[in-house]
């Protein structure tokens, strides 16, 4: 991995920034098609050191992963866990309204890429402009040394197994049948299968490099130690939703939301629907869970306001995705920040202008959709 991290430094700057755009777009594509969120946690160990080796900081890596996948989920096109479930409850095909969502996806990917690359350029030119400049890190990322190293045969094979594992993970979690693709079998893997996949890959890499058993076990335990804190953070974040659900607090909020959006004009209704779903999303971070509780109510209300139900779905998933860009109830976000040792308050301070811009772009898209349908 140390050898591979030197590659970005040997590239010309335009090539590096082109690579940033491509990676962000790929994360956004995963978010838009299969709701890539928790799956991004596995990529932090790869993206963080690569970005630091390129002369950036950990926040650039956070922007690539969290903003890339985040805007993708926000502008879901055929995401079966958001668009699919919501369309089912609304009684419309999943492809209805996809044109507006594709436009929204393109706008947000461009905006996210510009935001991350602008900050990356500032940090590369002046390290003191990093929002993490005053934090002293002492971990495996900060201790990386630069050097003119060449890939050996073992290293090439190791990288092949490493990246092949991630490609297999992406293929295994995508619900191909739900996307109408019958040529590729849907494996339906989730955390149990993915844990086995990564564990097996680690053993294979150890064998390739003839790593002594004691070294392998020590390395494995050190990695597991770092993840214990992440697991606790995820459990606490999930616990907030459990308390809200079993405390019947969510039902009270839904009743209030129904009275808030009734009897409004199309443009005002869609903006209020967006606002209502933002509030609901904070308490229900799960996109599928939010669709389950809100769509049976919001779908019929859209008919009375003279707008199509697919636009309400766009408002719902935009609100859910927007909240999950920064909310502490988003498990993948707090887990990733914990892995990279980025303080949550620093991330929120850095991302605040971006989330404001995303909200403005989203509202403009929603109002445009309401006017076109009107």
What's the token pair of residue 328?
């502490």
Selection from 38-47, 304-313, 331-340, 342-351 with the highest mean pLDDT? 342-351
Residue whose C-alpha is closest to residue 74's, from 26, 109, 117: 109
The secondary structure of residue 131, as a DSSP letter, is T
pTM of the shown model: 0.74
Q: To 10 degrees, what angle do helices 309-323 and 287-305 make?
A: 140
Domain parsing of the chain, residue ranges: 2-150+212-373, 151-211
pLDDT for 155-209, tens place per residue? 788 878 877 887 787 677 666 776 667 787 878 776 678 788 888 988 998 999 8
DSSP letters along 137-177, please? P-STTTT---------HHHHHHHHHHHHHHHHHHHHHS-GG
Q: Where are the alpha helices (DSSP H) in the chain?
A: 2-5, 13-34, 44-53, 58-62, 68-74, 85-90, 98-125, 153-173, 191-208, 213-246, 249-261, 266-283, 287-305, 309-323, 331-340, 344-373
Q: List, for residues 114-169, the tens digit of each pLDDT value.
A: 999 999 999 989 989 999 988 887 665 655 544 444 567 787 888 788 778 877 87
Q: Which of 21, 37, 361 is nearest to 173 (CA)?
A: 37
Q: Measure CA 348 to chain center.
A: 15
**d(C-alpha 344, C-alpha 326), whole Å:** 9
Question: SS3 string of 25-57?
Answer: HHHHHHHHHHCCCHHHHHHHHHHHHHHHHCCCC
């Amino acid at each position: 991995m140390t050898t591979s991290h030197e590659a970005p430094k040997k590239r010309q700057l335009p090539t590096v920034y082109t690579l940033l755009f491509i990676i962000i777009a790929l994360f956004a594509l995963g978010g838009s098609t299969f709701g890539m969120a928790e799956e991004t946690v596995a990529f932090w160990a790869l993206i963080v050191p690569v970005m630091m080796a390129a002369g950036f900081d950990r926040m650039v890596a956070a922007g690539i992963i969290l903003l890339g996948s985040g805007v993708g989920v926000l502008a879901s096109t055929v995401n079966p866990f958001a668009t699919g479930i919501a369309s089912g409850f609304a009684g419309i095909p999943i492809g209805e309204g996809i044109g507006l969502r594709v436009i929204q996806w393109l706008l947000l990917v461009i905006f996210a890429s510009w935001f991350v690359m602008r900050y990356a350029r500032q940090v590369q030119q002046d390290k003191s402009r990093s929002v993490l400049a005053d934090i002293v890190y002492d971990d495996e990322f900060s201790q990386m040394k630069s050097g003119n190293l060449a890939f050996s045969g073992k290293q090439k094979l190791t990288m092949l197994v490493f990246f092949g594992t991630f490609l297999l993970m992406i293929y295994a979690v995508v619900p191909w049948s739900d996307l109408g693709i019958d040529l590729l079998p849907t494996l339906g893997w989730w955390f149990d299968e993915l844990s086995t996949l990564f564990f097996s890959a680690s053993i294979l890499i150890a064998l390739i490099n003839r790593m002594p058993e004691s070294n392998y076990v020590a390395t494995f335990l050190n990695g597991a130690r770092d993840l214990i804190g992440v697991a606790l953070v995820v459990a606490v974040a999930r616990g907030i939703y459990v308390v809200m659900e079993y405390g019947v607090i969510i039902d009270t909020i839904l009743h209030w939301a129904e009275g808030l959006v009734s009897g409004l004009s199309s443009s005002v209704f869609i903006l209020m629907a967006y606002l209502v779903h933002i509030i609901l999303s904070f308490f229900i971070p799960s996109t599928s869970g939010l669709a389950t509780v809100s769509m049976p109510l919001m779908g019929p209300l859209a008919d009375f306001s003279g707008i199509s139900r697919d636009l309400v779905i766009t408002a719902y998933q935009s609100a859910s995705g927007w909240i999950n860009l920064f909310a502490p109830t988003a498990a993948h976000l707090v887990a990733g920040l914990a892995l990279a040792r980025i303080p949550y308050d620093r991330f929120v301070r850095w991302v605040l202008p971006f989330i404001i811009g995303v909200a403005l772009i989203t509202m403009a898209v929603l109002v445009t959709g309401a006017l076109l349908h009107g």
